[in-house]
Amino acid sequence: MSLIGNLLAGLGRAQFFLLQILVALPATLLRPRLVIQQLYSVGVLSLIIIVISGSFVGMVLALQGYRTLIRFGAEESLGVFVALVIVRELGPVVTALLFAGRAGSAMAAEIGLMKATDQLSAMEMMATDPMKRVIAPRFLASVLAMPLLACIFSVMAIGIAGGHAIGVELLGVDDGAYWGQIRAAVEAQDVIDSLIKSTIFGIAIAWIAVYQGYHAAPTSEGVSRATTGTVVVSSLAVLALDFILTAFMFR
Amino acid sequence: MQSRALEILVGFFVCIGVAAVFVLTFRVASLDSVGTGEGVYRVTAQFQNIGGLKPGSAVTMAGVRVGRVQDIVIDPDTFQARVTLALDGQYDAIPEDSSASILTAGLLGEQYIGLTPGGMLDPLKDGSEIMLTQSALVLENLIGQFLSNMASKQE
């Protein structure tokens, strides 16, 4: 009984916290430097893991797809297979999971530690609002970085080092057929859906991470629990949201 | 971390991201030796039916790729498909009376154009038209022919 009560209370707190973030967001526009600082730590520092993962995911998809398609003599459709799977699903989802593990956990740990070492209360003493100074810039930077990272992941997986490298260079699918089929099959709507998905995932991960950090118990154990909770909850949230969004976008 | 270097890196990241968005939206122009560059000449061919041929499909001769389909439009007079082929400049001695047929790779594969060389001495040049063409085999038509044949044999 108390478990359900705790759950509901947590949800309510999180909703209220999101409102506070949204109220604090316009203030961050007056201090773009803070957002740039956070874009560096969540965006630039996540680039390498995103690029490498994108390449590997694309390569694996190309190998697996080729094995199936060759049975039907349809190996020229490899490009379509890789591109649709990546753009519609794997690009946003895998990027979001990596982002949760790489940037979300770091954010939660940092904010949790700030709280544990009383930095947040010190800010309040100095009449600076930690919502505006700490939370909102991180939230905004995450929401901005996610769609960009997802697109970089998709381009790597389809074109540069992933599916194209394996399919065209290694397995000998015709280059023109690869791109031609992709152009014929992938519509602008797919890319727009992909951007919408990754932006929503970015909002979810950022919200969960800053909430967990801000409401962490001010001990080393509390900080570690906030970090773990961020990764677990945001991974589950991403997968659940992905199902809901896909069901909406399903045509 | 110098704040200037940090800003440069963030700008770089945003540029890459936006470029990736554009690349995805406009679906990556094909980096191709046979394309719109130098050493390419264009010939046209008219087909009754092109099936699933698309711009970017291969043009082959004896199975070797000699060019690409550049663009497909409807001819306003004949209402046939007018296909522009970009052929590689190194194959500049393809006879003028060669024929072009639309073939399929595998049963469900990509469609491409196969050139069969003719016997004339004059080669195809930029802007010339291939007169002998064979349309894509449309499965429905084939089945229809087969069925009508069967029906006529019954009588």
Tell which of A84, A174, A197, A198 to mutate to test the B interface (max B CBs under 10 Å). A174
Q: What pLDDT is recorded for position B30?
A: 39
What is the rounded CA–CA span in Å between residue B42 and residue B61? Answer: 16
Decide: helix, strand or coil at residue A244. Answer: helix
Report which listed range, A93-97, B3-7, B103-107, B116-120, is most confident.
A93-97
Q: At B74, is the pLDDT very low, low, confident or very high (cuts 50, 70, 90)?
A: very high
Closest in A148, A158, A175 to B30, CB measured: A175
Tell which of B14, B24, B70 to mutate to test the A interface (max A CBs under 10 Å). B24
Name the residue type at position B135.
S
Q: What pLDDT is recorded for position B16?
A: 86
Residue B34 scores a pLDDT above 60: no
Q: What pLDDT is recorded for position A220?
A: 87
What's the token pair of residue A119? 């930095």
**Closest of A17, A215, A207, A220 to residue A117, by C-alpha:** A220
Q: What is the helix (H) or strand (E) element at residue B67, kind and residue range? A: strand B64-74
Residue A23 scores a pLDDT above 60: yes
Long-range pairs for B6-9 at CB < 8 Å and ≥24 separation? B6/A36, B6/A37, B6/A40, B7/A36, B9/A40, B9/A44
Residue B67 scores a pLDDT above 60: yes
**Closest of B30, B27, B56 to residue A83, by C-alpha:** B27
Q: What is the helix (H) or strand (E) element at residue B22, kind and residue range? A: helix B3-25
Are B109 and A159 in contact (CB < 8 Å)? no
Share of chain B above pLDDT 90, in %: 15
Contacts of B20 in chain A (CB under 8 A): 148, 151-152, 154-155
Are A179 and B27 in contact (CB < 8 Å)? yes
User: Which residues in chain B (22-81) have CB-CB distances under 8 A to chain A?
Assistant: 23-25, 27-28, 30-32, 54-58, 65, 68
Q: At A172, is the pLDDT very low, low, confident or very high (cuts 50, 70, 90)?
A: confident
Q: At A55, is the pLDDT very low, low, confident or very high (cuts 50, 70, 90)?
A: very high
